[in-house]
């Protein structure tokens, strides 16, 4: 059976795809500037930060943040456990009919 894809996994794939696309676009810009040197002066640095895109440090990977949760008390865990036991008992009873 296929494993369900989580939204966190999809977000990770989207980020990796965006990084690859950004690198591809930066390479294309380098080729365009090599072929047409006058284009380098055609942009205002405030309008389009091409120098930022072409810097070697622009390809560094941004660290991933881990999800943090508020710790649960023992009473809260017990309440959740009791609630889930009732939930699954009801599901099982409904399925037996």
* The model scores a pTM over 0.95: no
pLDDT single digits (tens) 75-96: 999 999 999 999 999 999 998 6
pLDDT single digits (tens) 41-73: 776 655 655 565 565 454 554 555 667 888 999
pLDDT single digits (tens) 5-34: 788 888 888 999 999 998 888 888 888 888
* SS3 of the chain: CCCCCCHHHHHHHHHHHHHHHHHHHHHHHHHHHHHCHHHHHCCCCCCCCHHHHHCHHHHCCCCCCCCCCCCCCHHHHHHHHHHHHHHHHHHHHHHHC
């Amino acid at each position: 059976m296929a494993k369900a894809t989580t939204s966190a996994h999809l977000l990770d794939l989207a980020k990796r795809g965006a990084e690859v696309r950004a690198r591809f676009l930066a390479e294309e810009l380098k080729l365009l500037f090599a072929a047409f040197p006058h284009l380098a002066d055609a942009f205002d640095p405030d309008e389009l930060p091409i120098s930022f895109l072409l810097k070697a440090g622009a390809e560094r990977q941004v660290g991933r943040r881990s999800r943090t949760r508020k710790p649960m008390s023992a009473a809260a865990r017990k309440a959740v456990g009791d609630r889930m036991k009732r939930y699954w008992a009801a599901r099982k009873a409904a399925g037996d009919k």
